[in-house]
């Protein structure tokens, strides 16, 4: 308690900035980059993965990952963590802030790379590891009304529509019953799609989403991982050095987000201006064409009426000019 009070006094003496008064709990992307890499905090990650996969997961170690660097300037908009569970399976958890046009291709590459990295040269293919790719995205990815999407590989009969299963002999060799059990599985958590109030977060997954989106954890929660998150991810429990790193990280996140939003707005403005300019030119050309056509039609009517006044048969005038009797007689 004294340590917390000291940290409060330290903060009160600091110059206030926009990120000076943080939420009670640190952001999950920051936790993935720093705190959750400590084995003592594996329980937080285990809880999240267990809720998403709907089975109890035990993480035994973290593996090398392309975003293992801690510096806040390193890939602020994408952080990931790679772990091995007690079944010797690989779990990739990635948090991404910014939109990416080739997002699906990249997560496919990530799982494929993990498979290749964790099979030795000369090993038989039976040692290929199952990979779960969990992607927590804070941008509006795809179209859909749900906040959690699951994808896996199935082999379905083209004519019979039944799912292909494994024979007993193959089961004894591979220890699986269906192809789905060996092929990678993908989970996409669309955080922005979650919009329930705090008091309506009833399921474990909804409680996790409330934390991921709003930084809130219910008092006395029993949701796997969140009780440990409430204990381990409190801002006030971090060391002074960690707090300063967190400030710098949040400032960098804000700067990058503003830069991207500025670029987006500038692109939108440029597009609107170009569209208006092109629209004016097109409108002017179309207006001139319409005016020319209307002028020619008016002239044809005048000529036709003169022909009629001279006693020319109206059926002949219609055939020559292409006008209707109503146009000629007015």
Q: Which uninterrupted H or E stretch holds 295?
A: helix 240-309
**Residue 221 pLDDT more than 50?**
yes
Residue whose tokens read 């009070």: 5
Share of the chain above pLDDT 90, in %: 30
pTM, whole model, 2 decimals? 0.69
CA distances for 81 relative to 2, 68, 117, 128, angstroms: 34, 7, 15, 20
**Residue 65 pLDDT more than 70?**
no
Query: How far apart are the C-alpha atoms of 45 and 29, rounded to whole Å?
Result: 12
Q: Which uninterrupted H or E stretch holds 329?
A: helix 325-329
Q: What is the pLDDT of residue 266?
A: 66
pLDDT, greater one: 213 or 329: 213
Please give the average per-residue pLDDT across 3-29, as a whole number: 54
Encoded tokens for 255: 């700067």
> pLDDT-based confidence at 43, cuts 50/70/90?
very high
CA 240 to the chain's CA centroid: 33
pLDDT in tens, 177-191: 888 888 999 999 999
């Amino acid at each position: 308690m004294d340590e917390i009070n000291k940290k409060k006094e330290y903060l009160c003496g600091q110059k206030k900035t926009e990120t000076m008064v943080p939420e009670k709990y640190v952001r999950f992307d920051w936790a993935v980059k720093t705190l959750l890499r400590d084995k003592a905090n594996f329980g937080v990650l285990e809880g999240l993965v267990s809720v998403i996969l709907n089975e109890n997961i035990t993480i035994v170690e973290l593996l090398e990952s392309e975003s293992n660097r801690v510096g806040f300037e390193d890939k602020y908009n994408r952080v990931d963590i790679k772990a091995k569970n007690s079944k010797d399976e690989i779990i990739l958890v990635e948090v991404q802030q910014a939109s990416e046009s080739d997002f699906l291709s990249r997560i496919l590459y990530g799982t494929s790379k993990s498979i290749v990295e964790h099979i030795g040269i000369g090993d038989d293919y039976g040692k290929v590891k199952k990979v779960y790719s969990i992607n927590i995205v804070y941008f509006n990815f795809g179209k859909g009304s749900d906040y959690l999407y699951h994808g896996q590989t199935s082999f379905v009969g083209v004519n019979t529509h039944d799912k292909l299963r494994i024979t007993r002999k193959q089961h004894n060799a591979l220890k699986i019953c269906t192809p789905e059990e060996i092929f990678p599985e993908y989970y996409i958590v669309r955080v922005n799609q979650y919009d329930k109030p705090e008091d309506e977060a009833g399921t474990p997954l909804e409680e996790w989403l409330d934390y991921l989106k709003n930084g809130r954890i219910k008092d006395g929660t029993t949701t796997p991982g969140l009780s440990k998150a409430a204990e381990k991810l409190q801002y006030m429990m971090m060391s002074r050095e960690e707090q300063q790193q967190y400030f710098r990280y949040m400032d960098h996140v804000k700067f990058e987000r503003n830069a991207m939003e500025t670029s987006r707005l500038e692109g939108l403005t440029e597009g609107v201006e170009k569209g208006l300019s092109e629209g004016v030119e097109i409108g002017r050309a179309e207006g001139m064409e319409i005016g020319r056509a209307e002028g020619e039609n008016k002239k044809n009517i005048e000529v036709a009426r003169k022909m009629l006044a001279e006693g020319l048969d109206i059926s002949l005038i219609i055939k020559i000019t292409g006008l209707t009797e109503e146009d000629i007689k007015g």
